[in-house]
Amino acid sequence: MDIRRTILWMIFSFSLLLLWNNWQEYNGKPSMFASTPATQTAPAPSDGETNTADSSIPNAVASPSSPSELSASTPASADSEIINIDTDVYRLSFDTVGAQLVKAELLKYAAPEDKTQAMVLLEHSANSVYVAQSGVVGASAGQSYPTHLTPFALVSSEHSLSGDTLQVVFEATADDVRVIKTYTLTRGSYDIHVSHDIHNLGDAAINPSIYLQLTRDGNNPSDSSRLYRTFTGPVVYSEADKFQKVSFSDVEKNKASYTRQADNGWIGMVQHYFATAWVPAQGLNRSNEILRVSDNLYSVRSIEAVGTIGAGEHKAVEANLWVGPQDQKAMSEVAKGLDLVVDYGWLTILSKPLYKILSWLHSILGNWGWSIVVVTLLIKLVFFPLSAASYRSMAKMKQVTPRMQALREKFGDDKAKLNAAMMEMYRNEKINPLGGCLPMLVQIPVFIALYWVLLGSVEMRGAPWILWVQDLAARDPWFILPAVMMLTMFLQIKLNPTPPDPMQARIMMLMPLVFGGMMFFFPAGLVLYWCVNNALSIAQQQYITSKINRAAAAKAIG
């Protein structure tokens, strides 16, 4: 039985499928492999529970039909004033309407279109909407507490960070309820502490609720690639159901399913390399909601009952707001599971250790490119016994290739006799026809896991390696690494046994062109990993093959 024919056809067919899928995405068509986020069925509210989101929380921007209407309706209010705040990592813009965060520039990360400009994560313009909002609801009919549509006044005076922390304080009063909203910024941190101090100025007790909300359009980030897919959209985390992604399309179709009631966890919006998240105080019951606000505009929010506030009393509600890069170490210190925004899917159990090893190597070497080289070398060393078994099998197969060709000529189209003769030869020569494939299959999950680590790690963004490679997250500007990958793949094929079937041989020779062509558009860090892996594989194969050939020559001369 010639198992290689089947394996080769499977590899070639899958390669063509990937190439066609990438071409479809490049032309703006949906991917055949667009994954449906893993979600959980939300439990129905129990008796006595109410969801105040639909009835009492105002739409993000009074339901405009387009981002341009949004730009005109909220910031253009007569009471609107933009307050600019600077820290060592941020340039932030707050709108006094709602005291909402409407722009966040990350000073330590370059914009994808212009490396001289800072990366803009949050923004409120005619072309992009992505803001962080909050407010208080639960007022009696005909009344309204301060929400993200209520004019606030700036109370604090400092506009730039001079010490270790900076407090930006806003205040608003509506219907005998005063809300003092305080953003506390910390040097070197993307974790913003937000306090809502709710004062009851009336004569009767109140029972307000507070909502924390992220509103975003459904557009992909400007640096998105059509050749590989990363998730953009709302997420929910709870200890019961863990990390849940919800696609914008599911929200549009009212098919979104996620944890709606919890007393822990957080909500967020994620995109490639960056994330925002509201982390309420843990241990308090809250409702989560993801909704379509208007055309191409969505919100994810958490609503939490504050409890009774008596006349003349006040109560503060604390929360954390993350606005920044997907820094796994820093995010894990803010909230449990927050580092899962770097989503490795079902390979998380492998990807997490690989990321830690890569980070440890970087702490020693100080260069992410060389860290990729070394971690690939370490993986090859760990799998050397399996690789050696595979290469020994291929070397033996190469030695008997002339005899296999002779058997094909002898038996012609008689497949039964040909397969029987080949199996007899395999038994006599102690060759396992699958010996070259199975060890490689065992390694595939590890290499795919490393692929996702390199693709999802924000540390690669803007990180240089050597000479012409100055950004491991961008494609090779001179296409040198993809060319090297194609060459190394070609050398690997030449070292393997030549398939006796001319069609199989032609398919194998096309493989470097198929995979190499795809790599022309992939991040340089990923292509570097494949080049190093191929080069090490060639060295291992040459070493094993030369040992077998020397042993065979020694046996031949007695």
Query: Is the same domain home to 331 and 356?
Result: no
Query: Is the same domain home to 323 and 420?
Result: no
Distance CA 338, CA 373 (A): 29
Query: Is the same domain home to 301 and 381?
Result: no
Query: Is the same domain home to 303 and 357?
Result: no
Mean local confidence (pLDDT), 64-85: 54
Query: Is the same domain home to 255 and 363?
Result: no
Query: Is the same domain home to 212 and 357?
Result: no
Residue 528 lies in a domain: yes
Question: CA torsion 87→93→98→100, rounded to 10°?
Answer: -70
More confident residue, 342 or 25: 342
Q: Which of 74-78, 190-194, 394-398, 405-409 has the lowest mean pLDDT?
A: 74-78
What is the pLDDT confidence band of residue 436, given thresholds at 50, 70 and 90?
low
pLDDT tens, residue by residue, 109-164? 988 878 789 999 999 998 899 999 999 999 888 889 999 999 999 999 999 999 99
Query: Is the same domain home to 226 and 136?
Result: yes
Mean pLDDT over each residue of the chain, to the nearest integer: 80
CB 208 within 8 A of CB 124: no
Residue 16 lies in a domain: no
- Whole-number pLDDT of residue 437: 59
Query: Is the same domain home to 457 and 547?
Result: yes
Query: Is the same domain home to 295 and 322?
Result: yes
Which run of H or E residues covers position 256? none
Q: Which one-letter DSSP state was computed for residue 218?
A: S
Q: Which of 26-40, 282-296, 339-353, 432-446 has the lowest mean pLDDT?
A: 26-40
- Whole-number pLDDT of residue 41: 36
What is the pLDDT confidence band of residue 451, given thresholds at 50, 70 and 90?
confident
Query: Is the same domain home to 317 and 216?
Result: yes
Percent of the chain with pLDDT over 90: 42
Residue 319 lies in a domain: yes
Mean local confidence (pLDDT), 436-447: 67
Owner of token pair 């030695």? 399
Residue 7 lies in a domain: no
Residue 2 pLDDT exceeds 60 = no
The CATH number that applies at residue 150 is: 2.70.98.90
Distance CA 239, CA 187 (A): 30
Number of folded domains that form the chain: 2
Residue 23 lies in a domain: no
- Whole-number pLDDT of residue 224: 73
Residue 477 pLDDT exceeds 70 = yes
pLDDT tens, residue by residue, 340-366? 888 777 778 888 889 999 999 999 999
Domain boundary among 310, 337, 364: 337
Query: Is the same domain home to 406 and 331?
Result: no
- Whole-number pLDDT of residue 391: 67
Mean local confidence (pLDDT), 522-534: 85
Whole-structure pTM value: 0.77
More confident residue, 106 or 56: 106
User: Mutual orientation of helices 480-495 and 524-556 as an angle, nearest 10°?
Assistant: 20
- Whole-number pLDDT of residue 73: 35
Residue 456 pLDDT exceeds 90 = no
Domain boundary among 337, 363, 387: 337
Query: Is the same domain home to 302 and 162?
Result: yes
CB 258 within 8 A of CB 238: no
Q: Which one-letter DSSP state was computed for residue 258?
A: -
pLDDT tens, residue by residue, 235-289? 999 999 999 999 999 999 888 889 999 999 999 999 989 999 999 999 999 999 9
- Whole-number pLDDT of residue 115: 79
Mean local confidence (pLDDT), 325-330: 92
- Whole-number pLDDT of residue 46: 34
Range of the domain at 376: 352-556
- Whole-number pLDDT of residue 37: 38
